[in-house]
Amino acid sequence: MKTRGRLYSRVMRVGAVGALVAITGIVPLAQRAGASSYMYSGTGYDASYPQGSSNPPSGMSFAIIGLGHGRPFTTNQYAGTQWGLAIKAGLTPSAYFNTGYALAYAKSDTATCKTNSTSYQPKASGHALSALQAAWAIGCSEADWAVSTEPGTPAMWWADIETGNSWSTDTALNQATITGMITELTATNIPVGIYSSPSMWTSITGSGFAVPSSVAGDWQAGLKSCSSTSSGLTPPGFTSSITGTTPLLLAQNGKVVVSGTTYDTDLAC
């Protein structure tokens, strides 16, 4: 992957919602059917701005479309086309978006995320509560940004958490950012997962960080097989939740070239 609600009421004026639905077919959160789980099968692909408007690989079971241009609060100008190509192939696309923490990202905070950040009360000694709440608001606003740019309702949300993007050396700030985005996305009633790798995840969050229990599963980069060599069983994901181990749902296991364009392939676990 390229290094790679209540939400609608926060990022749009109420009067603009009806026009948005008429023009794009995006359905406001209040009208969406709830979804508690999503199970992948077979092999799929993911695409973002590097793939442009090229035709994706055929014969795939699922598609995951990147909404950003490699950094938080940026837009993949091809997302709508890529979404439409997946729909044309009979797939229900999922979506991923770029994440990170930097003070500069606060300029894109939504008003409601800033207000709701005061409810974040972590038990972190030695850290200014205001700084942690500001980080929470950044993550929350990254989620708002993703939802405001989605070409359609995704089957599942994936937060792209990689060391190639901006993150703090203070893992408590990173944890607050991730908690904010997961909390906000959970309000969409669409399953939420995390894309990363064990090493990147530990580098960004530190050791022992338990994500909110609403996280549905993990998508691991650079994992060739879902099965462990000793038991043949699917290993657990790289994150843990406050209620236990998060399942591994997808392995980004290879690449395929279609008419000169390279796509990552993903294996359902």
**C-alpha closest to that of 28 among 46, 1, 54, 7:** 7
Question: How many domains does the chain contain in total?
Answer: 1
pLDDT at 14 over 60: no
Question: What percent of the chain is predicted at pLDDT more than 90?
Answer: 72
Q: Which domain holds residue 29?
A: 6-268
Report the percent of the chain where pLDDT is more than 70: 83
Residues in the chain: 269
- Is residue 1 included in any domain, yes or no? no
Q: Which two tokens stand for residue 259?
A: 């008419």
Strand partners, 263: 256
Name the 3-class secondary structure at 134.
Answer: helix
pLDDT in tens, 152-192: 999 999 999 999 999 999 999 999 999 999 999 999 999 99
Q: Confirm whether 22 is domain-assigned.
A: yes
Residue with the two structure tokens 């395929």: 256
In this predicted structure, the answer to whether residue 39 has a pLDDT above a threshold of 80 is: no
Backbone angles phi, psi at 247, to 5 degrees: -70, 150
Is 256 a domain residue? yes
Q: Is the confidence at residue 33, as pLDDT, over 90?
A: no
Q: Measured between alpha carbons, how far is 261 from 265 in angstroms, rounded to an integer? A: 13
Q: What is the CATH number of the domain that holds 58?
A: 3.20.20.80
In this prediction, residue 15 carries a pLDDT of: 29
Q: With cut-offs at 50, 70 and 90, classify the pLDDT of residue 7.
A: very low
Q: Is residue 125 pLDDT above 50, yes or no?
A: yes
- HEC sequence for 146-209: HHHHCCCCCCCEEEECCCCCCCCCCHHHHHHHHHHHHHHHHCCCCCEEEEECHHHHHHHHCCCC
pTM (two decimals): 0.85
Tokens of 30: 């209040």
What was the pLDDT predicted at 2?
Answer: 45
CA torsion through residues 41, 89, 63, 51, sign: positive
Looking at the domain assignment, is residue 15 inside a domain? yes
pLDDT at residue 107 greater than cutoff 90: yes
* Res. 232 pLDDT band, cuts 50 70 90: low
Per-residue pLDDT tens over the stretch 197-225: 999 999 999 988 999 999 999 999 999 88
Residue with token string 């100008």: 77
User: Is residue 231 over pLDDT 90?
Assistant: no
Mean pLDDT value across residues 59-78: 96
- Which of 159, 139, 140, 155 minimizes the C-alpha distance to 215? 159
